[in-house]
Every structure is written in structure tokens, then in C-alpha cells.
Structure 1
């Protein structure tokens, strides 16, 4: 799934799945469902035989490509919100995560229609221009920050060639709010964001800048881009996730700025001690719904 040597684990993805589900924009999904409904109606009308009372053809299955699917949480969240039969194609480079996705797939669509899942192992940044041919939707979650500018160009080109909308959720913005605040918060945030933009094996990641780049490239093709906030809210209601996120966030910051190690150690001790009492964290993300030029005016 990832474009560097970074690996995520099924345990981490399982820990964050409920927070992801709570954060993603339902409004963008409603817009997507409405758009697909209009497209499906037009398709049925175009193929209906002449004559009064002729039966409408059965709806074709939606073909949804989930890029960097991880353990399959995006499919489990989105499939029950989309009506009609669906064929999900889950892409990831990690066979262990694909195995998890295979054993826990979405079961039915919003209207009770069937849903099938298949997995494909590979680097999603290397999709060919034909990879999404016939797709009804391209989806991804928590992936864009690990792209380079060249990755964005290739993935956007594949989507544009396919002519399908894209729902891209939970992209980090680089902004985190802690309550109560601490004097070290801002320095650690800057260090973490620097880590997100690091260069690995000659490849410079976009990190928090990815959303703006993706939006600009799609708009350059004349596509419509719709943005919604999808922040995580971490507190004592999910202490395991909050503590794990704190450790990972501070660890990445120290990896980027080793001189912060001693102060970050003390900061982390204070923060984790407060998880069960007073600490709350808002981790800003945004979701994007991207639609072709022919549909841009319909939302």
C-alpha cells in the first residue's frame, strides 16, 4: 500500500477503524449516492427497449477500486452506504493486510444487494492508465500523504482516463489541537509535519500538502473537487487508540528532530497520564469527492 518502507499493521488499522468511520464525511457520500443514482437512471433509460411497459434492465454492478485498502475498512464502511450490487477490487502491496480484508469483507449494499470482493497485490502508485478501465468509483483512505507529486499525477491520470468519480478520505492536514495545551505541542507538530514530508530513497513525500496537490491536478483536468472536514476526536472514550496515536506522533517527530527526544519523552509521559482524565485531541483530516466535468455541475 505504501510508497516507502513504511508498514502499517492490522492491529493499528483495527484500532483506528471506529475513529475512521466516525470521522468520514456522510455528506460527501450522500452526494456520491445521488450522483450515481442519476447516472444509473440515465443508463437504464438509454438501454430501455422501445414500447410501453417494457421492463427496465437489471442494474449493472458498481465496480469500485479501493487503493491502499489495508485491512479493508473503507469497503466495510462504504459498501453498506451505496445502493445496488457492487464489485470491490482491493489494491494493496501488503499480502498480510489483503488476507485480513479477504476474511472480513462487506456483506451487503444499502438496499440489500450483493457485494463481492477481490484483492490485487501491487503498488498503487504504479497503476497503469488502463488499471481503472470500467471503474464506477475510485476510493482511498488515509493514503494521499504517502504520495509524491509524480504518484499523484499517475493516479489522477488513471482516474481521469476511467472517467469515474473518486472518494478520497481521511487525508491529514498537519493540524492537531490538544486540550489542555502544552508548550511543546507546536514544536512537535512542526517536527511531525516535517517527517511527513521527508525524502526516502530519493522520493519526497507530500505529507499534509497532498490534498492541495491532488485538488489542483484534478481541477487542471476540469474536474470538480468537493471538500469536507473529517477530523478525528481522541479522548478517554477510546484510550488505547489515543495512547497509540500519541506514541506514534511523538515518535515520528523525534525521528525528524532527534534533539527533541528528552523533552518529547517527558511530554509523552504527561500526555499519556492524562488520557483517562482531561486530555482530548483533534486530529484534522479532510475528505475529497472528485467528479468528472460532465457531473461537476450536478452536486
Structure 2
């Protein structure tokens, strides 16, 4: 399943795709849609139609905010874990689940010392190719970083698939999984003896600097939308913490909020359309009030007057040492 052509391609940053900003409300968390594309991605087999994907424009648009939000405080215990492991040829092996365009690798590889080999997992071959060619070349200390890609179903991971992993990581993944899928993920990591760094899961809380009476209703409707079909949405981090702890891991959770101000106007507008759109899809009775709300919020955003904190959480699960 390895996409060797993408893995062997010369590293380069793809800067030819400009973020777009459609005027229509997107019924989802904000991905930019293209004709015929679905707005959200499900990382499992057996779906109708062609495999959905997040548009790379959306992933590129959010990457700087993601990078600023991720919890740096979790890197110290992770580095401590690595320092306790015996050195091995080839360095760290890091599996990035649902890698999208590879933003997690671009953020993390440059913050870890030592040689690294990244294994990028996603269902979308286009995104896998994008991630492979835009992956980093060097670690924090100048050591070599290499990459391979694997197309497959994140929800069906086994310990064998993660065999030899030094770390399993993902970004914005947990909240689009069900409880059984999170249990499968925790079991696979435990079976492989690998820690997991799982970042930017929605926390279900949004705070505007200028509150509006409709904020609470929209947030509640959006959270309900995130839980459709058995997905965990804002309950995912709690469920994941329980699942990993149940497999004997030590679990830490840190906040990782987006803090969006005038300098993030494009991202804020796109996120806002998706947030309101999902809420209205869940509760159509909100539509009339939501249209006025969205118009006013977008106008404030365009004027540089909108500030909002979108709360997320990062989770680090580290297997406890096995007693001799």
C-alpha cells in the first residue's frame, strides 16, 4: 500500500494553491468545497461514492493557526520518553494518521532531534502525494528526515501496522472517530508500545470577544452536529483519555486553542461559515436568525473587528514502563 512514487519524489513546498473563500455556507467545520466533493472526510472504508477528502486549500489556510495552537508543553515529556529508549539505526519512526497535507510533520519534525522516518497515512492519494512532496527534510539538529506514504483505513489499525513505531501522531482526527474506533486506535498503539500525540481535537467551546445572544444556541447545535452518526466530536478527548488509560498509558491533556484576530480574517471567515452552516443543518429552525448573525459576523471580520477563541485539546498518551 506504500505510494513509493510519492515517497521517492524530491522534497519541495507546493505553494501554487491559493486559499479560496466561497460565499455559500458550508455544512461542516470549514473545509473549502469543490464541485462534486464532500465537505468532510471519514477515515474508514465502505463509504458510498468516491473517497471524500478535505480540500487542501482549507488545510493550508488553517496550518499557521494549528501551528500556533499546538501544546508545546507536551513535547518535553515526549522528548523524555525518547531519551529513555535505546538508540536504533535510522532514528525515530513516526506514524502520522490522517496526515492530510502533512502539516503535523512540518510542525513536529523540526522540533525533535535526531533522524526521523515519517510514515504518512491517509485515504486520499492526492493528499498523500501533497504531504510527501512538502514534507520537511531535516530535524531540529539537522539530522535527516525521510518519508513514505500508506493509503488505508485509520479506523482499522492493528499493532502490526504500527510495528516499530516510536510515535503515533495525528491532528484534528479524534473528533471524527467513534468510540469503538478510538478504542481500536488505543489498542493498536498499546500493542505496538508506542506513545501517541493527538492534537487539535475540538473541545466544543467557542468564545467571541463581542458575545451575541445566538452564540450559545449555535455552539450547542454545532456540537450536536459533530456527534452525528456516533462520532464523538467534543467528547473525543475524554473518550481517548479513558481508552489509552485503560491500556495502561499515562495520559496528559493540554489546551490548544485557536486565537483568531484581524490577522486571521480569511481563516476566521471560512471557519465561521462552516460553524454556522453545521449548526443550521443540525437545527433548521435557527436558519433565519443564523443568516443575519452570519452576515453581521462576516462584516465584523472583514472590518478587522472580530476576535474569537476556538477551543481545542491536545492529548499525549505514553505507555508506562514494563516492569522486569
TM-score by length of 2: 0.82
**Which of 33, 36, 58 is matched with 1:12 structurally?**
58
Identify the match of residue 232 of structure 2 among 188, 206, 211: 206
- Deviation (angstroms), 1:122: 1.1
Say which of 46, 49, 70 aligns to 1:24: 70
Corresponding residue SS for 1:290: strand
Q: Is the contact between residue 2 and residue 68 of structure 1 (CA under 8 Å) also seen in structure 2?
A: no
Match of 2:275 in 1: 249
Could you list the runs of 5+ residues in structure 2 that have no partner in the other structure?
1-40
Contact conserved, 1:180 with 1:278, CA < 8 A, in 2? no
> Tell me, which stretches of 5 or more residues in structure 1 are unaligned?
45-57
The partner residue of 2:178 within 137, 148, 161 is 148
Q: Distance in 1 between matches of 2:260 and 2:90?
A: 40
Which residue pairs with 1:81 in the alignment? Answer: 111
Instruction: Please report how far the alpha carbon of residue 262 of structure 1 lies from its aligned counterpart in structure 2 after TM superposition.
Output: 1.2
* Structure 1 stretches of at least 4 aligned residues deviating more than 3 Å after TM superposition: 3-7
Write the distance in 2 (CA, Å) between the matches of 1:154 and 1:227.
Answer: 20
Partner of 1:181: 211
2:319 counterpart of 1:279:
no
1:164 aligns to what? Answer: 194
Matched residue, 1:48? none
1:102 paired to 2:102? no
**Cα drift, residue 59 of structure 1:** 5.2
Q: CA deviation at 1:218?
A: 1.0
Give the whole-Å Cα distance in 2 for the aligned partners of 1:86 and 1:256.
Answer: 43
Compute the TM-score of the two structures, normalised by the length of structure 1: 0.89
CA distance in 1, matches of 2:83, 2:89: 11
Q: Is the 8 A contact 2:112 2:140 kept in 1?
A: yes
Which whole-Å CA distance do the structure 2 matches of 1:89 and 1:157 have between them? 19
Post-superposition Cα deviations, 1:66-111, rounded to whole Å, max 9, x if no partner, equal: 0010000000000011111100000001112112112201110011
Deviations 1:242-286 (A, max 9, x none): 100000100111111111111111100010111133211100111
Residue in structure 1 matching 2:223, options 177, 193, 198: 193
Q: 1:50: which partner in 2?
A: none
Report which stretch shifted further, 83-92 or 215-224: 215-224
DSSP-derived class of the 1:176 partner? strand
**Within the alignment, does 1:231 sit opposite 2:261 as a pair?**
no
Contact 2:197 2:314 in 1 (8 A): yes
Q: How does 1:43-62 map to 2 (within 5 A)?
A: 43-44=86-87, 60-62=90-92
Tell me if structure 1 keeps the 8 A contact 2:90–2:117.
no
CA contact (8 A) 1:2 1:123 kept: no
CA distance in 1, matches of 2:123, 2:236: 21
- Whether the 8 Å contact between 2:265 and 2:304 is mirrored in structure 1 is no
Whether the 8 Å CA contact 2:43–2:98 is kept in 1: the answer is no
Report the Cα distance in structure 1 between the residues aligned to 2:125 and 2:293, rounded to whole angstroms: 36
